[in-house]
Every structure is written in structure tokens, then in C-alpha cells.
A and B are shown apart, each in its own frame.
Chain A
Amino acid sequence: MFDFLDGYDVLGAFWLTVKLTAVSAVGSLVWGTLLAAMRVSPVPLMRGFGTVYVNIVRNIPLTVIILFSSLGLADIFGMTMGSNDFDVQGFRLAVLSLVAYTAAFVCEAIRSGINTVPMGQAEAARAIGLSFTQTLRLVILPQAFRSVIGPLANVLIALTKNTTVAAAIGVAEAASLMKTMIENEAQTLLIGAVFAFGFVVLTLPTGLILGWLGKRLAVKR
């Protein structure tokens, strides 16, 4: 019944999806935290930059960003991302786009977490003489992160699903393979079910585990 799977590297495609997700997740967490720090910083210009970045990037479809990274950045500006191999380049461009896009949502999640930390905490931190950076790093962010594990899990799951958009620039991840298979093989329904199942397996445990972890780690007040 599953003969149609012969000759296709389904697991390999999903492995690429996982790799895309993992690398982009780390990148967007770093860039998103920086953006969040900018958005709450005392320097008006940095706040402005953070706000503008988040509002612009959130409103552009990821498809436009990824396609631009391939047709614009790579073809016109000759950005090779340190490799001439087409596949490696596609992967890196996809990561770049996913990080740029997802970071905006990570930033908003973290910022909402910062808002959950009670005013008194920051006041106390300032009262004992901590600077803005110290307050943020030692007092606010550790608590904020623990309270936004749930929302960050949502962002991570959305990121997992968004990696499929990389198929638009020829990255051979799951959606790309599904497109090929569905066009060449007769079992449309079965192929669809296999790939849907793959994504359910990827996203459902992530949501459950991180949701549970979020509740466990949240600072009880």
C-alpha cells in the first residue's frame, strides 16, 4: 500500500524541515531578544527602530521575504551566503528570511512577557543601583522568559509550519517533496496523509511539552 514511498527520501525531507526549524529558531530567538531589548530601551531611537522593524516585517508575507532573498539578494545582489552550492545557498537564504520574519514575533512575545513582571521588581532593582542592562539581564528577562514559554512555543510551531515556504525557492524540505510526489504518483490522498501526519508529529508534541514546561516554570505570583 505504501509502495509509492519507494524512491523518495521522505525522512530526509523532514530532517531538512527539522534542521531549518532548529537553526532558524535559535537565530530568531537571539535576534528577537535583541529587538525586544531595543523596544524597551531608554534610547528613543532604538525604540523607534524596533517598533518600525516589527511593524514592517510582521505585515509582509513570509513568501515575499523568502522569494526576495532568492530573486533579489542572491540573483541581483550576488549574495552567496558563503557558498556556491545551490542547495546550501538556498538553505541559508531560507534561514536568513525565517530569522528576519520570526524574530518580529519573538520580540512581541518577549515584550508581552516583560509586561508581566511587576513594576516593583524593576523599581527594587533600580533602588539597589542596577543599571538598565543589569536590570534587564538579571531581573526582568529571566522572569519574562519563563512567563512567555507558552507564546514562544506558539511561535516555534508557526515557524515549523512556515519552513514549508522555503519550498518556494527550491529548498527540498517536506512541502517541496510533497509537491513532487503528489504530481508524480497516483495516491494523492495517501501522500497528503503521510505529510500531514509528519507535521502533526512535529508540532503536536512541541506544543504539549512546551505548554507543560511553561506552566511548570512560570513564576507563580
Chain B
Amino acid sequence: MSTVLYDTPGPRAKRRNVLFSVVFTVVLALLLWWMWQKMDDKNQLESALWKPFVESEAWTTYLLPGLANTLKAAALAMVIALPLGAVFGIARLSDHRWVRAVSGTVVEFFRAIPVLLLMLFANEFYARSTNVGSADRPLYAVVTGLVLYNAAVLAEVVRAGILSLPKGQTEAAYAIGLRKGQTMSSILLPQAVTAMLPAIVSQLVVIVKDTALGGVMIGFAELLNSRGTLAANYANVVPSFIVVAIIFIVLNFLLTSFASWLEQRLRRSKRSTGAVLGVDKVDDLNAAEVGGTYGTGAGGSI
């Protein structure tokens, strides 16, 4: 195969590639062997430490309830943040300068501060100023933190989605006599939502990852937190970390694959305008000046 950077290898290049492959394999194998040895030295490979994971108890008591909480917080955050983000995204495109300014400030502010700060703050705020029970408080705080941050990020996604539509759509809508609100609600938004779907699904990965913050810092009983309880019970720190990491990887990999499958499918479908928004396109928008407002580039894709 040939790409931009190198030709289809000839005999010499082939030999060199084989040499590199061998050297790389040896280095990688040494590294893996060293890691294996190290784990063996510290008795992390003993079957007793791994056994809980093939029995149902570790799953039903610790991991699955934790995973359920992770998914619950992520789903709640998504469902609340999306309409909020849509409102702010549309407001940033408003014709009125003060609406643009206010929503722009709000969006840039919440994108600029770390989710962890928002969660810590929300947790303390709920403890002092509301009567949310202490059992529910971590969930509330995690969801609040996630919603504030991700609504801001999704606002940018919505804005990018609407801006990615051909200008002719708006012009045609005005030409047949639709008002501004009607143009937005019946012409632009439905198409933008289709275009945004892949970016929204990708954002879910970020949300799922961020729930883990709540587990460590404010005691929300999500997957990473239940790993701690599990490890305390079976004394299997390293194995439990590996298993939890694998669960996260599989879950997020499924979401990522779904997002790119959706992107491909939407690009092919004849009914859309052809505007489809992956995460990278939203990032481009963040870095560039669009529609008279300035994106600070406080990127939300990680």
C-alpha cells in the first residue's frame, strides 16, 4: 500500500521494514514481559485475585450497580444538557446583540472552568442551601456539574450544526414567507439535529468519562467508586483497575463506533443536506471566528 508519505516498498524498503518490525516487536515484548514479571513479583497474577471476576457476586454486588449509576448520571446529564445547549446555541446566533453577548458569556464561562470545580461547588451548594438528602446529593452534584459544562459544549455543537447548513436554506425559508422563529424551528433545527447527531454521540463519551470524577471526589457510587469497595473486599487493586478500565474502554468504544457509523450513514443518506458534523468539525469551529462571535477554543472534546 502507498500513502502520502511513502511509496509502495521496494525490496530494500521491505527488508528495512521487516528489520524495524522485528526490533519493535522485541522492544514491545520486553516491555510486556517486564510488566508481566513485575505483576508476578507483586503477586498480582494470583488466580485468587482474578477469580471474583468470573463469579457473579463481584459483578452483581459491585460492578453492575456502579455501571448502572455511571450510565444513569450520563444519560440524565445528556437529556438535560441537550435542550439547554440548544437554547444557548440558538441564542448565540440571535439577531439581538445583547442576547448574543449574554449567551456567549455564559457558554464561554462554563466551557472555561473544569467540570470538577463545578461538581465540588454543586455538592457543597446542595448541602448548604437545599434540602436534597445526603444520599441523593452526589448524583445531583455530578449531574449538575456535567449539565453545566456539557450544555455549554453542546451549545457550540448546535451552533456549528446550524452554521453548517447551506445559506440557501434560510433564504428559501424567508422567500416563502416564514418568520425567523418558524425558519429556525421548522427548517434549520430539524436539519441541524440530524447533522449534529454524530457529534452529540461523541460527546457522550466525554460525559461517561467525567462521571468517574464524581466517584473519586464526592463519593458518587459509580463504576470507579464501586471498584474501590470491590478492591477493599477482595484485596485485588490492580486486577480491579484493569477490569474497570476494560469496561470503560468497551463502553466508550461502542459509543465512538456508533458515532462514526452514524456519520457515515448520514453522509450517504439522500434526505439530508449532506452537512454532517463530527467532533473534529466542531473543534475547527472553536478555533475559528464564526458568525461574529469569537470562540475561545476552550475545547470540549476531551
A interface residues, Cβ below 8 angstroms from B: 40, 42-46, 49, 55-56, 58-64, 67-68, 71-72, 75-78, 102, 105, 112, 114, 117, 119, 122-123, 126, 132, 135-136, 140, 150-151, 153-155, 157-159, 161-162, 164-165, 167-168, 174-175, 178-179, 182-183, 188-189, 192, 195-196, 199-200, 203-204, 207-208, 210-211, 214-215
Cβ contacts B33-47/A at 8 Å (1 or 0 each)? 000001000101000
A61-B20 contact, Cβ under 8 Å, with A161-B113, A183-B124: no
The complex places the Cα of A200 from the Cα of B118 at a distance, in Å, of: 13
* B21, B208, B216: the one within 8 Å of A45 (CB): B21
Q: How many whole Å from B160's CB to the nearest CB in chain A?
A: 14
Q: How many whole Å from A51's CB to the nearest CB in chain B?
A: 12
Whether A105 lies near B302 (C-beta < 8 A) is yes
Cβ contacts B119-138/A at 8 Å (1 or 0 each)? 01100110011000000000
The complex places the Cα of A149 from the Cα of B209 at a distance, in Å, of: 26
The complex places the Cα of A135 from the Cα of B298 at a distance, in Å, of: 33
Whether B5 lies near A40 (C-beta < 8 A) is yes
The complex places the Cα of A102 from the Cα of B299 at a distance, in Å, of: 13
Which of B75-83, B91-99, B164-172, B245-253 sits within the interface?
B245-253
Pairs of residues from A and B, 10 with the lowest C-beta to C-beta distance, nearest first: A154-B299, A150-B287, A207-B296, A207-B297, A59-B252, A158-B302, A61-B212, A61-B209, A161-B114, A63-B212
Contacts of B25 in A (CB 8 A): 45
Which of B6-14, B61-69, B177-185 sits within the interface?
B6-14
* Further 12 A-B residue pairs, CB within 8 A, beyond A114-B4, A140-B5, A188-B121: A40-B3, A42-B13, A42-B17, A63-B216, A72-B241, A76-B237, A165-B213, A188-B129, A192-B117, A199-B114, A203-B296, A207-B296
A56-B114 contact, Cβ under 8 Å, with A42-B17, A77-B42, A126-B7: no
* B6, B216, B238, B284: the one within 8 Å of A168 (CB): B216
The complex places the Cα of A61 from the Cα of B224 at a distance, in Å, of: 9
The complex places the Cα of A139 from the Cα of B213 at a distance, in Å, of: 42
Whether A68 lies near B241 (C-beta < 8 A) is yes
* A132, A161, A188, A195: the one within 8 Å of B128 (CB): A188
Q: How many whole Å from B200's CB to the nearest CB in chain A?
A: 17
The complex places the Cα of A62 from the Cα of B248 at a distance, in Å, of: 11
Contacts of A183 in B (CB 8 A): 124
A151-B113 contact, Cβ under 8 Å, with A43-B21, A62-B209, A76-B237: no
Contacts of B129 in A (CB 8 A): 188
Whether A55 lies near B113 (C-beta < 8 A) is no
Q: How many whole Å from B104's CB to the nearest CB in chain A?
A: 12
Whether A150 lies near B112 (C-beta < 8 A) is no
Q: How many whole Å from A191's CB to the nearest CB in chain B?
A: 8
Please tell me if B234 contacts chain A, counting CB pairs below 8 Å.
no
Please tell me if B210 contacts chain A, counting CB pairs below 8 Å.
yes
Whether B297 lies near A153 (C-beta < 8 A) is yes
Please tell me if B71 contacts chain A, counting CB pairs below 8 Å.
no
Q: How many whole Å from B2's CB to the nearest CB in chain A?
A: 9
A178-B117 contact, Cβ under 8 Å, with A183-B124, A203-B112: yes
